[in-house]
Structure formats: C-alpha cells, structure tokens
C-alpha cells in the first residue's frame, strides 16, 4: 500500500550497498550517544533537534557520574556499564569535555551556624558545613561537563556520517503498522527507523505513538567562576535555610575553575519550546543565598550562568528504552531522570545494538520496556499541547504523590 508521501533524505548508498538510515528525534546527550554508536556500526543517523545540541538538561545538568549509586535498582547494570564507557570514551575520542575522577562527600549545614564538627575538613567549604561521610572515591565517582560531552559525542557521530538537522518534529509518517519517516516543518524525511529521544518533550510523541507519559522534573542551578583553587571533589549537602526548609544542594567544582551548584526543584509546567525554560521567580536568589553560606569560594565568585532545566521521568522512575509496542521501526529512549548524563553512553550502545541486531548484548533492556506502562491517551495529549489547557490536563494525568514532578503539557 502506498503511504501517500514522497520523502526526501531516504537511505543512502555506500560502495553500492544500501545504508540503513535512522532518524533520531532529539539532540540531547541520549540522541547524540545513539547517533555515535550507530555510526561506529556503519549506520547513518540524522539527529533532528528543534533548538540546538544540548539546549536543555543535557547542557545544564551537573555532569556527575557514579558507578554504584544505582545498585539494587533496575538501573544498576546500565549505570555500571555506562560509567565504564565514560572512561573509555574519554580515552578513545581524545577530546576534552572535563572528564575526571572525583572524591565525593556528604555533609550538613544550617543557616547562621558558624561552625560544626565533622569527620572531614574540606577547605573550600565553610566552617559551618559538617562533612560527615565520604560517599565515593576516584574509583567510583567522576564528572563531565555535560554540554561539552554532548557536543563532542555529536561531533564524533558526524565523523562517522551522522547529520544534524535543525527543525521542529511535527509528526511521523506511517505505512500501516510501521513508521517510515518524520515530518519536520512541513517536509518529510524518510528513514528505516525512528527513535524518540526528546527528554521530557518525548511526551509530545504520545500523540503519534502508543507511548507512556513522560514528565519533567524541574531543577535550578548556578555556575560560578571560582578560579582553579578547588580540588577534584564533589559535595552533597543537607541544608536548613533561615525559614527552616531543608534543601539538598549538590556542588560540583569543574576542571575549568567553575563550580556548578544545583538545588530547589519545582512543579512548574513544561513549556512547549525548550528555549522558553526559565528559572522560577525567586529560585535563583534562594539558591545564591545558600551558596554564599556553604562556601567562601562562592561568596565572592562571579556567577556565569543562572539556569533551570527539566529532567525526564516516567511514572515508575525507570527509563523508557526499547521498541515502541505495536509499531515497527519505532523506538524510544528517555526518562533517565537525574542520571541522563551518566547513562547516556550505555543507552546509546544498547539502542544501536537493538536497532542493528534486534537485541542489546551488554545490557538487559527488559526493565526499561515501554510496554510495562500504559500508553498516554492521544486525545488527552492533543488537548495538552495547547498552552491554555496544559496545566489542567497534567493535573488529571499526574496522580502519583510519591514522585514530585513537574507536568508535561
């Protein structure tokens, strides 16, 4: 049966051999990683991105990596494999994206407390911070600069034949029960497979495919230019502010002399355009006040970025990685929550294996099967994509009180 369209950009030829062409919707760290691992297998990838590479959480996350912090959860093997791949990629690709091993600490502090005892004295933290535990060593924790890592993965993918296409995905083209292309701003691009990897904006694809809901967890962050005096350490702090509220700031000094600090989650609605994401009123000021109290290195440092991002999460907290049920040639990779940067390499590797060989070899993807969760009702999805009704639809859709998440439109 003729599907009724005449696409551009179909499968290419290399030395007279037809090359498989995969369309990846989303230019974040997951999409770039999938493109890279497809490329090293000789498969062409086109990454379709509305705003720009690493424009959302992939460019505004902390970039913290942990080998064993997901142990005992469905993500354990994915995280361990990905932690190892981060080290391999840093050595093999030869680019500098701020990869280094860290020592990681836990501590506590309260507003106005001048000094607290602790088992560890970290000179870059204030005397009022009691550092009580080493959470990770250089064997188990590390970091990358997420925007630099994502951009490097995209460049590496392009070196293997991948292309980047800027544009807004407006739908998919189907021939009966299989996907055969993507609609971009009125044009159709043909492909042998389509991957939805749009972070929290993957919820928009529920209007085209039987996908579970994906929500956005909003967080705020500051980046300070603190100079090069801070060692390769990270700190996770429980902080009680002047009002008595408890926040859990995370502090990540980087090799370039900056310090990234994040805290203060909220349930703000997800905007339709990633370029419209902005900090909540007052959130940055609250975070800055916390930072001044936690570290003398931050008290006088220049702020170089005030930002917010939405991290994608599925209803049960585990990623969605695998085939879209009931639709041939359609795949999804999203919902990695706060571990997107960590788990991107292993997700890219597993998705490339699944698409090329029919099954992932290094990781069991069954815990992440999208079919484990009910699909979002497309009728509700269509209502949700209008700004006027976004909040009302989300309030109906988000019924889990355990997961404090922001709503997708």
pLDDT at 121: 78
pLDDT means per 10 residues, the chain with 409 residues, are 37 61 98 98 97 96 98 98 98 96 96 69 89 96 98 98 97 96 95 98 96 96 89 96 92 96 94 94 96 92 97 96 98 98 98 98 97 88 41 34 26
Question: Which residue from 321, 320, 317 is spatially nearest to 337, judged by alpha carbons?
Answer: 317
Residue 270 and residue 200 in contact, taking contact as beta carbons nearer than 8 Å? yes
Distance separating alpha carbons of residues 169 and 240, to the nearest angstrom: 43
| Conformation bin of residue 178: beta by default, left when phi > 0, alpha when psi is -120 to 50 | beta
- Measured from the Cβ of residue 91, the count of other Cβ atoms closer than 10 Å reads 9
pLDDT at 116: 63
Residue 345 and residue 82 in contact, taking contact as beta carbons nearer than 8 Å? yes
94 contacts: CB under 8 Å, gap ≥ 6: none
Residue 267 DSSP SS3: coil
Distance separating alpha carbons of residues 233 and 245, to the nearest angstrom: 26
Q: Domain-by-domain residue ranges, the chain?
A: 101-138+216-313
Residue 330 and residue 193 in contact, taking contact as beta carbons nearer than 8 Å? yes
Question: Which residue from 120, 109, 98 is spatially nearest to 291, judged by alpha carbons?
Answer: 109
Question: Which residue from 178, 174, 175, 190 is spatially nearest to 328, judged by alpha carbons?
Answer: 178
pTM of the model: 0.89
pLDDT at 189: 97
Q: Which CA distances in Å does 81 have to 65, 70, 77, 146, 362? A: 12, 12, 6, 18, 8
| Conformation bin of residue 396: beta by default, left when phi > 0, alpha when psi is -120 to 50 | alpha
∠ CA 159-161-163, rounded to 5°: 100
Residue 23 and residue 244 in contact, taking contact as beta carbons nearer than 8 Å? no
* 101-138+216-313: CATH class: alpha beta
Q: What is the DSSP letter of 271?
A: P
pLDDT at 388: 34
């Amino acid at each position: 049966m003729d599907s009724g369209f005449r696409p551009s950009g179909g499968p290419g030829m290399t030395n007279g051999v037809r090359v498989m062409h995969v369309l990846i919707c989303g230019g974040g760290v997951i999409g770039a990683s999938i493109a890279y691992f497809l490329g090293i297998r000789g498969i062409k990838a086109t990454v379709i991105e509305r705003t720009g590479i690493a424009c959302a959480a992939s460019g505004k996350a902390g970039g913290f990596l942990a080998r064993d912090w997901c142990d005992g959860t469905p993500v354990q093997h994915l995280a361990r494999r990905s932690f190892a791949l981060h080290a391999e990629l840093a050595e093999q690709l030869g680019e500098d994206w701020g990869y280094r091993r860290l020592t990681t600490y836990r501590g506590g502090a309260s507003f106005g407390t001048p000094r607290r005892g602790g088992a560890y004295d970290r000179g870059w933290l204030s005397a009022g911070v009691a550092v009580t535990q080493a959470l990770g060593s250089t064997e188990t924790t590390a970091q990358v600069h997420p925007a630099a890592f994502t951009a490097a993965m995209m460049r590496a993918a392009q070196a293997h034949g991948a292309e980047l296409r800027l544009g807004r995905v407006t739908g998919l083209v189907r021939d009966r029960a299989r996907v055969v292309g993507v609609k971009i701003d009125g044009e159709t691009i043909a492909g042998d497979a389509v991957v939805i990897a749009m972070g929290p904006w993957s919820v928009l694809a529920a209007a085209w495919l039987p996908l579970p809901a994906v929500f956005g967890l909003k967080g705020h962050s500051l980046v300070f230019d603190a100079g090069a005096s801070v060692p390769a350490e990270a700190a996770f702090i429980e902080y009680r502010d002047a009002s008595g509220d408890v926040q859990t700031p995370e502090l990540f000094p980087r090799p370039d002399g900056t310090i990234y600090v994040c805290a203060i989650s909220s349930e703000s609605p997800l905007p339709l355009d990633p370029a419209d994401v902005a900090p909540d009123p007052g959130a940055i000021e609250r975070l800055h006040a916390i930072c001044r109290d936690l570290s003398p290195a931050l008290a006088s440092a220049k702020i170089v970025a005030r930002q917010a991002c939405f991290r994608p999460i599925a209803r049960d907290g585990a990623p969605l990685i695998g085939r879209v049920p009931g639709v041939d040639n359609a795949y999804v990779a999203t919902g990695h929550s706060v571990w997107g940067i960590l788990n991107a390499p292993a997700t890219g590797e597993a998705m490339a294996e699944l698409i090329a060989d029919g099954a992932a070899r290094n990781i069991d993807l069954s815990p992440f099967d999208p079919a484990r969760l009910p699909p979002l009702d497309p009728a509700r999805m269509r209502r949700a994509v209008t700004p006027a009704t976004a909040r009302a639809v989300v309030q109906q859709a988000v019924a889990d009180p355990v997961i404090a998440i922001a709503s997708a439109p």
